[in-house]
Amino acid sequence: MSVSSVAADQSVCAPLPVLGRDVTVPLVTGGEVTYAALDYAASAPALQRVWDDVAAYAPYYGSVHRGAGYLSQLSTDLFENSRAAVAEFLDCRPDDQVVFTRSTTDSLNLLAATLPAGCQVFVFETEHHAALLPWVSSPGATGRGGRDARVTYLDAPRTPAQAVDTLERALAGRDGHGPALVCVTGASNVTGELWPVRELAATAHAHGARIVLDAAQLAPHHPVSVRDLDVDWVAFSGHKLYAPFGSGVLAGRADWLQDAEPYLAGGGASRQVARRADGGVDVEWHTTAARHEAGSPNVIGVYAIASACKALTEAGFDRLVARERELIATVRAGLAGVPEVRVLSLFGDDAPRVGVISFVVEGWNSSHFAAALSAEYGIGVRDGLFCAHPLVRTLLGGDPGGVGECGAPDGGPAALNAIRVSFGAGTPDEHVERFVRAVRELVRDGARWNYRTEDGRCVPDRG
pLDDT digits over 49-64, tens only?
999 999 999 999 998 9
Instruction: Judge whether residue 347 has pLDDT over 50.
Output: yes
Average pLDDT over residues 354-374: 96
Whole-number Å distance between alpha carbons of 367 and 268: 45
- pLDDT for the residue numbered 405: 41
User: Rounded to an integer, what distance in angstroms lies between the CA atom of residue 212 and that of residue 249?
Assistant: 12
Q: Which of 23-37, 134-148, 203-217, 269-283 has the lowest mean pLDDT?
A: 134-148
- Which pLDDT tens digit goes with each residue over 130-185? 999 999 754 444 444 444 678 999 999 999 999 999 999 999 999 778 999 999 99
CB atoms within 10 A of CB 432: 23
Q: How many CB atoms lie within 10 A of CB 165?
A: 13
What pTM did the predictor assign?
A: 0.92
CB atoms within 10 A of CB 152: 17
Q: Could you tell me if 459 and 400 are in contact, meaning their C-beta atoms sit under 8 angstroms apart?
A: no
Contact partners, residue 419, CB within 8 Å, separation at least 6: 358, 359, 360, 361, 366, 369, 370, 381, 382, 383
pLDDT at 457: 85
Report the pLDDT value the prediction gives residue 415, as an integer from 0 to 100: 64
Q: Which residues contact 463 (CB under 8 A, 6 or more apart)?
A: none
The DSSP line for 142-166 is PPGGG---EEEEEPPPSSHHHHHHH
- Residue 449 vs residues 29, 32, 376, 409, 446: alpha-carbon distances, Å: 8, 16, 8, 14, 9
229, amino acid identity: L
Please say if the pLDDT value at position 413 is more than 70.
no
| For residue 11, pLDDT beyond 70 | no
Pairing of strands 341-343, 281-285: unpaired
Mean pLDDT, the chain, whole residue set: 91
Pick from 65-79, 366-380, 403-417: least confident:
403-417
Report the distance separating Cα 280 and Cα 295, nearest Å: 22
Residue 376's nearest CA partner among 334, 420, 435 is 435
Give the active site residues: 387
Q: Alpha carbon of 43 to those of 278, 298, 381, 388, 422: distances in Å?
A: 51, 19, 11, 16, 10
pLDDT in tens, 108-122: 999 999 999 989 999
For the cut 50, the answer to whether the pLDDT of residue 227 exceeds it is: yes
Say if residues 367 and 373 touch (Cβ distance below 8 Å).
no
Each residue's pLDDT tens digit, 437-455: 999 999 999 999 999 988 8
Helix residue spans in 231-316 (DSSP H): 255-259, 299-315
Interval 237-280: pLDDT, tens: 999 999 998 999 999 999 999 999 999 999 999 989 999 999 89
